Amino acid sequence: MKYYIIAGEASGDLHASNLMKSLKIIDPNAEFRFWGGDLMQAQGGTMVKHYRDLAFMGFAEVVMNLRTIMNNISICKKDITAYKPDALIFIDYPGFNLRIAKWSKEQGYANHFYISPQIWAWKENRIKAIKRDIDHMYVILPFEKEFYENKHDFPVNFVGHPLIDAIDNRKNTDVENFKKENNLDKRPIIALLPGSRKQEISKMLEVMLSITQDFKEYQFVIAGAPSQDPEFYQPYLKKTNINLVMNKTYDILSCAHAALVTSGTATLETALFKVPEVVCYKGSYISYHIAKRIINLDYISLVNLIMDREVVKELIQGEFNTDSLKEELHKILEEKNRARLLKDYDQLEQKLGGTGASLETASLIYNTIK
């Protein structure tokens, strides 16, 4: 079978790569052409564009890059037409993927959407396009199945969360060797996960690094994103007690004592590694105030959304400042708070189901085509 997969972000690259691995198990003749990243490339096939060329953050940035986005849509349509896949698989990234899905449905392709757009948070009117253009939806959060089927009468498959697979399948990291290989000392690690896009990294690191001198008994390690070059981070390494480790986020988390994490998939990854965290977010003034008016959620982190209560502290926009961050980091370093968090993390993992999300999704896709 020929599979055409579109992932537009780092998290999509991870989940798509595991899906490709599972598809190869079920379909030994699987061929891939895709928009994605290095993890997908490692599974074989042909990359059309890297996600680093697709990621634009916020409303203002999207408007500024509209010509590039429209050109990418045109390139994608022509490439799909030339490839003639047996199935199109969209991995989240709804602004781009739903545009392609509308066109591909009209062309007669089978559309599979793995990892639902977060229409339960905003742009719920996208349900019209999803019901019209998506043949099969595979959701990874337990409340999404009820949202789609009970509220919108659209059948979906709950397959569990692929992050559990991604973490479960990796080799354990030897803490001492990891520190030695990356020129770290013996102090406990506080991981800094500032995001994957240049705009958000710049905003987040400025505040995160402002507290490092107040925690000298710990060493701070920036998780360098695979979408960025090491040189991009160099200006942030001028302060003491700051280290950079590129492309090893899971290794860092497996060794970390605590973490400061930009809102997104990384908040859930950190929780599944059982690392106490403070969730942070700061966008541009325009993007934040537009989002504030149209997003109707009590929380921004996946951890709190899934648990439907505040498990981890969220510092958003103005609250994300040096004093608040320092205070919240002190709290999660206290043993009583750490014990509570770890207990909540266990409950979170139970809600997400067990392993096997990638293989389950691959089986459903293959059997549908067959």
With 60 as the cut, is the pLDDT of residue 292 above it? no
* Encoded tokens for 22: 């599972």
- 192 and 156 together in one domain: no
- 17 and 34 together in one domain: yes
Asked if residues 6 and 35 have their Cβ atoms less than 8 Å apart, the reply is: yes
- 188 and 278 together in one domain: yes
**27-36, 168-177, 357-366: least confident range:** 168-177
Higher pLDDT, 216 or 54: 216
User: In Å, what is the CA distance from 209 to each residue of 26, 87, 236, 246, 319?
Assistant: 46, 45, 8, 17, 16
For residue 168, name the pLDDT band (cuts at 50, 70, 90).
Answer: confident
Average confidence (pLDDT) over 21-25: 97
- 299 and 360 together in one domain: no
What is the CATH number for 18?
Answer: 3.40.50.2000
Distance CA 329, CA 51 (A): 32
- 222 and 270 together in one domain: yes
pTM: 0.79
- 65 and 87 together in one domain: yes
Distance CA 36, CA 43 (A): 11
* Encoded tokens for 287: 């993007």
Long-range contacts of 232-236 (CB under 8 A, 24+ apart): 232/198, 232/201, 233/201, 236/205, 236/209
Distance CA 41, CA 226 (A): 13
User: What tens digit of pLDDT does each residue of 231-266 get?
Assistant: 999 999 988 899 999 999 999 999 999 999 999 889
Residue span of the structural domain in which 231 resides: 168-352
- 118 and 181 together in one domain: no
Rounded to whole angstroms, the maximal C-alpha distance in the chain is 60
- 88 and 234 together in one domain: no
- 183 and 142 together in one domain: no
Give the sign of the dihedral formed by CA 254, CA 258, CA 260, CA 263.
Answer: positive
pLDDT at 121: 84
H and E: helices and strands count for the chain: 19, 13
- 208 and 154 together in one domain: no
Element (H, E) at 91: strand 87-91
Angle formed at CA 204 by CA 184 and CA 193, multiple of 5 degrees: 45
- Of 123, 103, 101, 119, nearest in space to 111 by CA: 101
- 31 and 99 together in one domain: yes
pLDDT at 45: 96
- 363 and 275 together in one domain: no
pLDDT at 294: 55
With 60 as the cut, is the pLDDT of residue 147 above it? yes
pLDDT at 25: 97
Query: What is the count of structural domains for the chain?
Result: 2
User: What tens digit of pLDDT does each residue of 51-109 get?
Assistant: 987 765 555 555 566 677 788 999 999 999 999 999 999 999 998 999 999 999 999 99
